[in-house]
Amino acid sequence: MNTKITVPLLLSLLVANNALAGAYMFPELGGVNVSTAGAGAQALAEGAETAFANSAAMTKITQPTLAFNIQGMVSDIAYTDTGSDGIFAGGESSTQAGTAMPAGAMYYVTPINDSWSAGIALVSAGGSVIDYGADFSGALLLQDAQLVTVQLNPSVAYKVNEQLSLGVGLVAEYGQLEQNFAGTDKFKTQATGSDLNIGYTLSGLYEFNDDHRLGFSYRSEIEHGMDGNLTIANQGLDSSIGIIMPTTASLSGYHNVTDKTALLWSLGWTQFSSVATTDIELDSRIVEIQRQWDDTVTASVGGYYQLNDKWRLEGGISYESSPQDDPRMQYPDVPTGELWKYAIGATYDLNQNWRMNFYYEYLDVGTPSIEFQLANSTLRGDYSANIHFFGVMTNYRF
C-alpha cells in the first residue's frame, strides 16, 4: 500500500465519518405523534406508543394494548456544485442524493395493578441514509452512507397519586454503519462498523384535571464505538468510529379547548454539543477530530378536531434550530440546517378494540452550503433538502 497516498485519504475518510455523529435524531422513526409534527407527544397517552414517547404516561393505559407502526421515508437531497477545485473538481454540476426506505416499530403496554404499568418498545431513534453516486464532486469523501439504529426499550411506570406518574426505562441500542467511497477497481474503499450499547429514560406525567396535562421525557446519551473495518484496495484495517446519539429532553402539553378541539405543544432540547470531539481508532492509532456542533432546540404546536364519533383530524408545525451553520464545518454525510416540519393526519376508531392513525409529514431542511477543505482543495456547493414521512399506526386493545 502506498503510504503517501493512503494516509491523507484515510484522514479525509475519518473526518467525513464524523458527520454521522451529528446526524439528525428522527422522532418520526419512533412514531411519536407524527401527525402533529411531534406536538403533545409526551402528554397524550392514547396508545401503546406511549411506551416510547413517555413511559410515565403508561399509567393512563387501562388495558393491555399492542401497536404497530408501518412507515415509509423518501428524501429529496439536491446538491449543486458552485466551483469545487483541486481534487474535488470535475464532478457533476448537480447531484441527486436522496433515498427511500421502509421503517417500522412495535409497542406493548399493560397495567400490572392500580399503581404500576409496564411496557416495551422496539423502534429506531435516528440514523442517516444518503447516496450521491460515483460522479459526485466529493465522491472521494463519500459516495453513499447508511447509519441505522434499533432500540429495545423496556420500561415501568408508577402512579404516585391521581395527578402524578413517574417512569423509568432501559434502552439497549444497536447501531450499524456502512460507507462507500469512490475509487477504481484496484482502489475501492469501504468503512463498516457496528456496536451495542445501553442507555436509560426518565419521565413524568402531571394531570391538572381531565382537560389539561403535562408530560416530560429524558433520554440519555448513548455512545457507540462502531468497531469494524476500513478496507482500501482489498487491504483491511481494524477501525472503531465513535458515534454519539445525544441526550434529548422534551416537555409537552395537552389541553382540551372545547368538546371537539384540543391544543398540543412541545418544547425539546438535543445535546449535539456532546459530539464536539470524536475519537477515531485505526489499528493502534487514535485520531481526535474536533467538532463544532451546537445544542438544538425544538418547538412545535398542533391541534385535534373531532369530526365525528369515528374520525379525528390532526395537524401541526415544528421548528428545530441548526447544529451547524458554518459552511466550512459541513460534511457530505449530513447537510445540516434549520429544520421545519409540517404534518397532517387523521385517527379512525374502527371499533372499541381497533384504532388507526394515518399521517404525513414534510420536513424542510433548507439550503445549507458546504466549503469543505482538504489538501489545498475545496468541495464547494449548495444543498436543497427535504424529507417525506408517511405511514399508519395501528393500536389494538385486548
In this model, does residue 219 exceed pLDDT 80?
Answer: yes
Task: Decide if pLDDT at 34 tops 60.
Answer: yes
Asked if the model's pLDDT at residue 20 lies above 70, the reply is: no
pLDDT for 99:
84
Whole-angstrom Cα distance, residue 195 to residue 148?
11
Mean pLDDT over each residue of the chain, to the nearest integer: 86
The tens digit of pLDDT for each residue in 240-275 reads: 878 888 999 999 999 999 999 999 999 999 998 887
Distance CA 300, CA 39 (A): 5
Nearest in space to 279 (alpha carbons), one of 23, 17, 10, 25 = 17
Window from 167-176, 204-213, 255-264, 282-291 with minimum mean pLDDT:
282-291
Residue whose C-alpha cell reads 391521581 in the numeric block: 162
- What distance lies between CA 70 and its chain's CA centroid? 16
Looking at the predicted structure, is the pLDDT value of residue 353 above 70? yes
Q: Is the pLDDT of residue 10 over 50?
A: no
C-alpha 33, offset from chain centre = 14
Q: Are 41 and 33 in contact (CB under 8 A)?
A: yes
Q: Span 367-388, mean pLDDT?
A: 90
Higher-pLDDT residue of 354 and 131 is 354
pLDDT in tens, 70-115: 998 898 889 999 999 998 988 888 888 888 888 889 999 999 999 9
- CATH architecture classification, 3-397: Beta Barrel (2.40)
| Three-state secondary structure of the chain | CCHHHHHHHHHHHHHHHHHHHHCCCCHHHHCCCHHHCCCCHHHCCCCCCHHHHCHHHHHHCCCCEEEEEEEEEEEEEEEEECCCCHHHCCCCCEEECCCEEEEEEEEEEEECCCCEEEEEEEECCCEEEEECCCCCCCCCCCCEEEEEEEEEEEEEEEECCCCEEEEEEEEEEEEEEEEEECCCHHHCEEEEEEEEEEEEEEEEEEEEECCEEEEEEEECCEEEEEEEEEEECCEEEEEEEEEEECCEEEEEEEEECCCCEEEEEEEEEECHHHHCEEEEEECCEEEEEECCCCCEEEEEEEEEEECCCCEEEEEEEEEECCCCCCHHHCCCCCCCCCEEEEEEEEEEECCCCEEEEEEEEEEEEECCEEEEEECCEEEEEEEEEEEEEEEEEEEEEC
CA quadruple 15, 382, 137, 98: dihedral, nearest 10 = 90
The model's pTM = 0.87
Strand-strand pairing, 339-349 and 311-320: antiparallel
Burial 142-158, CB ≥16 within 10 A → b, else e: bbbbbbbbbbebbbbbb
